[in-house]
C-alpha cells in the first residue's frame, strides 16, 4: 500500500515537546495522528491545527498492550506513516529501591515497549514506500547514570543504542532514525506528580530550552546523517562529558 499523502504519528501529543512536534510538522504533513491520554487537550490541538492538516486525536494509554494495539491499528488504517515520533514519556524521582516498582515498570513499558511496538508496525510500510523518519525521544540523562532517575535514564539509554543499531539495519532503505536527547526543556514534565520534590529553581536559567527550539533542531537534523541528536551547544558539551566519564570507568587492564 502506498499513499501520496504525508502522514505523521506523534505520541505524547497532548502537551510539551509532542504538541510542538505536531505544530512544526503540520506544514509538511497532510494527516497527523495525535496520541495521549487527555482527550480534551488532544482535541484542542486538533482544532488549532485543523486548517493545516487532517488531525486525528487518539486517546490511548501506551503503557498498556491494549493502548499500544489501538495505536498500531490507527497507524495501519490511517497510514502509512512517514513520520513516527515516539515521544510520550515521564519520569519518577527517587531511589529505585524506595519507590514502588509499578511506575518504574511503566516507564519501561512506555519508553521501550511502546516505542518498539510502533517502530515494528511502521517500518514495513516505510520500507515499501522507500522513505520514512523515526524519532525516538530520549534524554540528555541517557549519557550520565544519575541517582534518583535510574530507570528513566536507563530506558532512555536503551533508545540511543537501539536507534543507532536500527539505523544501521535500515540505512539502505531510505529510512532515517533519530534518538533525540533534550536537556532541560520548559514543559509540564517536571511538574508531574511522579516528579514531586523536583524544584525547577535548581536548574540555572541558561540551561533551559524551549520545546520549539528542541523540535526545530530535531527536524533540521533529519536531513543529516546523525542518529543521536542533542539540541543546544551546552547540552552537547554535557553529553560528551558524560560519555567520556563512562569510558573512563572501564579499566583497559586487569591491574
Ligand atoms: N522536558 C524535559 O526537560 C525533557 C528532557 C529530556 C527528555 N524529555 C522527554 O521528552 C518527552 C516529552 O516530554 P515533555 O517534556 O513534553 O513532557 P510533558 O509535557 O509532561 O508531556 C509528556 C507527554 O507524554 C504523554 N504521556 C505520558 N504518559 C503517557 C501514557 N502512559 N500514554 C500515552 N501518553 C503518555 C502525555 O500525555 P497524557 O498525559 O495526555 O497522556 C504528554 O503528552 C518525554 O519522553 C521526556 O522523557 C523531556
pLDDT tens profile 60-94: 999 999 999 999 999 999 989 999 999 999 999 99
Q: 220 falls in which pLDDT band (50, 70, 90)? A: very high
180 membership: H or E segment, kind and range = strand 175-180
pLDDT at 252: 80
Find out whether the beta carbon of 178 lies less than 6 Å from any atom of ligand 1: no
Q: At a CB cut-off of 8 Å and minimum separation 6, what does 35 contact?
A: 9, 10, 11, 12, 13, 42, 58, 59, 60, 62, 71, 88
In this structure, which residue's CA is closest to atom 47 in ligand 1?
89
Mean pLDDT, the chain, rounded, equals: 96
Q: pLDDT digits over 91-130, tens only?
A: 999 999 999 999 999 999 999 999 999 999 999 999 999 9
Find out whether the beta carbon of 68 lies less than 6 Å from any atom of ligand 1: no
Q: What percent of the chain has pLDDT over 90?
A: 94
Q: How far away, in angstroms, is 70 Cα from ligand 1 center?
A: 19
Fold for the domain defined by 7-248? Rossmann fold (3.40.50)
pLDDT at 3: 59
pLDDT at 41: 98
pLDDT at 163: 98
pLDDT at 250: 80
Find out whether the beta carbon of 40 lies less than 6 Å from any atom of ligand 1: no
pLDDT greater than 70 at residue 1: no
Find out whether the beta carbon of 88 lies less than 6 Å from any atom of ligand 1: yes
pLDDT greater than 60 at residue 171: yes
- Is the pTM higher than 0.85? yes
Q: How far apart are CA 230 and CA 221, in angstroms?
A: 10
Q: At a CB cut-off of 8 Å and minimum separation 6, what does 138 contact?
A: 156, 157, 159, 160, 163, 179, 180, 181, 228
Helices (H) and strands (E) in the chain, counts: 8, 9
pLDDT at 4: 83
Find out whether the beta carbon of 153 lies less than 6 Å from any atom of ligand 1: no
Domain ranges of the chain: 7-248
Q: At a CB cut-off of 8 Å and minimum separation 6, what does 110 contact?
A: 62, 63, 88, 89, 90
Q: How far apart are CA 80 and CA 13, in angstroms?
A: 19
3-state secondary structure of 220: helix
Grid cell listed for 101: 516498582
Probe ligand 1: pick from 14, 16, 20, max atoms within 8 Å of CB? 16
Judged on CB neighbours under 10 Å (0-12, 13-18, 19+), 239 is: buried
Compute the average pLDDT of residues 155-167.
Answer: 98
Q: Which residues are catalytic?
A: 152
Amino acid at each position: 500500500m502506498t499513499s501520496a499523502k504525508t502522514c505523521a504519528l506523534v505520541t505524547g501529543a497532548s502537551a510539551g515537546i509532542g504538541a510542538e512536534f505536531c505544530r512544526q510538522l503540520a506544514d509538511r504533513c497532510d494527516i497527523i495522528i495525535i496520541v495521549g491520554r487527555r482527550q480534551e487537550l488532544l482535541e484542542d490541538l486538533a482544532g488549532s491545527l485543523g486548517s493545516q492538516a487532517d488531525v486525528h486525536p487518539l486517546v490511548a494509554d501506551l503503557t498498556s498492550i491494549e493502548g499500544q494495539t489501538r495505536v498500531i491499528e490507527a497507524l495501519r488504517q490511517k497510514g502509512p506513516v512517514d513520520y513516527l515520533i515516539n515521544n510520550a514519556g515521564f519520569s519518577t524521582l527517587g531511589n529505585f529501591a524506595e519507590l514502588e516498582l509499578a511506575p518504574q515498570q511503566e516507564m519501561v513499558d512506555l519508553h521501550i515497549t511502546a516505542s518498539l511496538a510502533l517502530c515494528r508496525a511502521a517500518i514495513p510500510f516505510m520500507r515499501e514506500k522507500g522513505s520514512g523518519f523515526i524519532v525516538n525521544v530520549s534524554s540528555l540523562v541517557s549519557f550520565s547514570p544519575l541517582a534518583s532517575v535510574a530507570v528513566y535514564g536507563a530506558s532512555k539509554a536503551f533508545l540511543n543504542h537501539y536507534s543507532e543499531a536500527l539505523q544501521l539495519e535500515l540505512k539502505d532503505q531510505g529510512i532515517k532514525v533519530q534518538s533525540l536527547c533534550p536537556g532541560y526543556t520548559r514543559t509540564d514534565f517536571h511538574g508531574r506528580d511522579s516528579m514531586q520534590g523536583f524544584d525547577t529553581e535548581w536548574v540555572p536559567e541558561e540551561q533551559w530550552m524551549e520545546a520549539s527550539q528542541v523540535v526545530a533542531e530535531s527536524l533540521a537534523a533529519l536531513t543529516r546523517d546523525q542518529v543521536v541528536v542533542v539540541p543546544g551547544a551546552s547540552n552537547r558539551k554535557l553529553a560528551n562529558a558524560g560519555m567520556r566519564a563512562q569510558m573512563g570507568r572501564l579499566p583497559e587492564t586487569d591491574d
